Structure 1
């Protein structure tokens, strides 16, 4: 794995500064950019470690605190090992913050994140990749829908409520997506039952979006998150394979970079 260099940055949005973690390979660059959307527990050591792993594969990765209107991360008093079943009071604090991040606010912020990445001297010109986890999967789809000319790849993992009867359901905007989309769903996930997966898949197909949806057998909502009770090591590694394959296909390194796109050099 390539050595990486990470730092905390502030991104100017229409509603104040958003704190974020930015990490890239420790080299000359520039590197293809990836916007990394958090889960509801927010930026924390495990998510930064995931961003580091992506950076080690050859990408410049931005992990913003999408709850920045509520304060800088960490917003929540999280244990080292998160088990919502054992601490249901966590959701009493998290859920109102999630609901306050409306689709309009999320898209407004996405514009700032994408602009920051485009202006960075460490990123290549051209479209970026976006990946998101749990609630971040919806943010990834909304970003690709709102900025189709800026996003070439979307990865979404254990996302929930992506195809509901709500008037602002994420699936209602996917006809604007031009990116390639990969969605890896959890098998045991009441927030994304089979009928929602089927509706989302059908909507993407009818819109002509290049995509693949897969259900990870036996995996629970949150399967990539090693600091939670939902973690599934096999499913998490499957997600890494799928995500890196997607980014390899869609994001291009500068011609001067002789390495394989998206992979660390041996």
Structure 2
């Protein structure tokens, strides 16, 4: 599986990024993958390679590049409960500094870069994200409705509050999948969110993954749930197969 470390020109400098794509001399649909708050690390690279194996060019940018290249902060190999307070003490200022304006400015640069790579075919792209990256994915889809055909967020917030959420959803034309952790969303809150999705008129699935904690897809954390990670693939791959026009990718997803 070919991989690259790349530098993406942005209005504020250059964002380092990881890319994975099939080992075939063909063009493939593009997927922009936003990491969780912990950033690009072995588990994210492995997830990108896994997705690329299904026929996609997957680009994972360092969202916090303004503070330095990957790794922006040093992480333990396993991010257990005992390590989290010290890690979050370093991460929260970076997350707070990454405003909606910065997210959208960067999204412009990431999509422009992604769609001009020689391995990426013409046509729509997908955006997926984990934890805070899911919010970045939704904002990207809302800002680029003509270009983003699918968006997925896993154990992630949709937005800070109802009005902001509703303004976001009404601008999205992509098909949406939201996979929530059981500890993140109550059934009542899920009902309110799904009502907002209905009102926005988007095509979507939005569900709580049973027995999950926040961060369930990440194998280097205590929240990891192998069954939920597989469920995530079982939802994500058909979504991409339906929405991204590429017969090679569709064959891989069947």
Task: Sort the TM-score into its range (normalised by shorter chain).
Answer: over 0.9
Unaligned runs of 5+ in 1: none
What is the deviation of 1:126?
1.2
Give, in angstroms, the shift of residue 7 of structure 1.
0.6
State the TM-score, normalizing by the size of structure 2. Answer: 0.95
Paired with 1:119 and 1:45, the residues of 2 have a C-alpha distance of: 26
Distance, in Å, in 2 between the alignment partners of 1:215 and 1:149 is 29
Change (3 A) 1:12 1:178: same
Equivalent residue, structure 2, for 1:184: 179
Q: TM-score, normalising length from structure 1?
A: 0.91
1:261 aligns with 2:250: yes
RMSD: 1.7
Contact 2:237 2:253 in 1 (8 A): no
Residue among 161, 167, 173 paired with 2:168: 173
Kindly provide the CA deviation profile for residues 107-158 of structure 1, in whole angstroms up to 9, marking residues without a partner as x.
Answer: 1100000000111111111110111000011011100001001100011101
Match of residue 28, structure 1, among 25, 29, 37: 25
For 1:250 and 1:110, the matched residues in 2 are separated by 20
Aligned counterpart for 1:153 among listed residues 142, 146, 150:
150
Alpha-carbon distance between aligned partners in 1 of 2:38 and 2:251, rounded to the nearest angstrom: 27
Aligned residues: 254
> 1:66-215 maps to which residues of 2 (within 5 A)?
66-160=63-157, 162-165=158-161, 169-189=164-184, 192-215=185-208
Which structure is higher in helix share? 2
Structure 2 gap ranges (5+): none
Shift of 1:89: 1.4
